[in-house]
Amino acid sequence: MNEQLERHPVLRSLVWLLCVLAYFFVGAEPLAKEYTPRPIWRTALERVVNPEVLPLGYGFSTGDWFGFISKAGRLGLTDKVPGGAAVSDWAFVTSPADATPGSLRELRGTDGGILGSIDAGLAFFSSGRLFSASMDGTTVSSNGKDGMPIWNHAFPSQVSAFVANEDIVIGGTVDGWLEAINNRGERILRFAPGGSRLPVILGVGVSPSSSWIAMISGLDAQRLVVLGRGKSDYRVVSHRYLESAYREPARVAILGDDRHVLYRQPEGVGVWEVSGKTDDLLPVRADDFEVYFHQEQGLAYLVASYAGKSELVVFRPPAKLLGRIDLGKGLRVVRIDGSTAYLTAAEAIARLDFIKE
């Protein structure tokens, strides 16, 4: 058996992934009794160049691998290129190894067909939308499904924090300005939080409804600031000074409940109610994190990265910890949809469902 594993690295990665998934049942901090993590399937990653059309497919990107996979675990177009690709559920963009500032980047659909090209220094997806940015980091474009710019916006200086939802785009800059742009390319907000000797926007988040914008700003001192949308503009509805002194990006996110802000703190992940009435802490160390909210269950799934390792945490807002799973250095969560998590390890992808018993 050992010789077979040595000759087949994909088989070896699958066995390793199965062992790690088995750990969920014996080594993880227990979840609340009614929720059970259950492995559904695992699929070896391999190149697929003539894909079938996938029903309800998802895009994924992990390391050099990228592609599309169905909820049932069937691979669509899948490939491996140095540096991977920017991927959404409807398209992907690769960056050639010999790319120069004037190089065109090809936008391709889920079947690999060319949809268009992008003439920009950087192309990326956020909330399913395609964006591009200039090489100097001061201009951002919203691009259509043919790759052509819908609008361009020049920020006052280099963008240091960025977030988008279906309705608006928000960028924070190194000199402490925050600007929001609507889908027509119109600037609807320009705000400088101030309150610091060294202004800079280190992180920004927006609620799905666009009613709330949260940011971490400044270097000395550092503040969390929340803006709420009024009849005609956004205004400050709450803020607090922080003990942190970050000199690098600091994640901020607003849960899908339109109520709680999560933000990076030295001792864990802070939880702040937009009104300022709740100030709590999830005891989860994180250099960076992503959070997903399940509206029907009222649960949040937090994927935290710290010191090269990652952890999956389930909690009920504001900060009731229900369970946590140490993913180590090998497993990576690439997506959570509802109560379903998709994870990758080596050259395999797996699905894990949190089942309510």
**What pLDDT score does 237 carry?**
97
Ordered domains of the chain (ranges, CATH): 1-54+293-357 (no CATH), 81-154 (2.40.10.480), 156-282 (2.130.10.10)
**What pLDDT score does 192 carry?**
96
**What pLDDT score does 18 carry?**
52
**What pLDDT score does 236 carry?**
97
Q: How far apart are the first and last CA of the chain?
A: 37
Dump pLDDT digits (tens) for 243-273. 999 999 999 999 999 999 999 999 999 999 9
Q: For the chain, what is the HEC assignment?
A: CHHHHHHCHHHHHHHHHHHHHHHHHHCCECCCCCEEEEEEEEEECCCECCCCCCCCCEEEEECCEEEEECCCCCEEEEEECCCCEEECCCEEEECCCCCCCCCEEEEEECCCCEEEEEECCEEEEECCEEEEECCCCCEEEEECCCCCEEEEEECCCCEEEEEECCCEEEEEECCCCEEEEECCCCEEEEECCCCCCCCCEEEEEECCCCCEEEEEECCCCEEEEEEEECCCCEEEEEEEEECCCCCCCCCEEECCCCCEEEEEECCEEEEEECCCCCEEEECCCCCEEEEEEECCCCEEEEEEEECCEEEEEEEECCCEEEEEEEEECCEEEEEEECCEEEEEECCEEEEEEEEEC
Dump pLDDT digits (tens) for 72-104. 999 999 999 988 899 999 999 987 655 565 567
Residues of the chain with pLDDT under 50: 1-16, 23-28
**What pLDDT score does 101 carry?**
57
**What pLDDT score does 25 carry?**
40
Contact 262, 271 (CB under 8 A): yes
Contact 238, 227 (CB under 8 A): no
- Distance between CA atoms of 345 and 330, rounded to whole angstroms? 6
**What pLDDT score does 31 carry?**
57
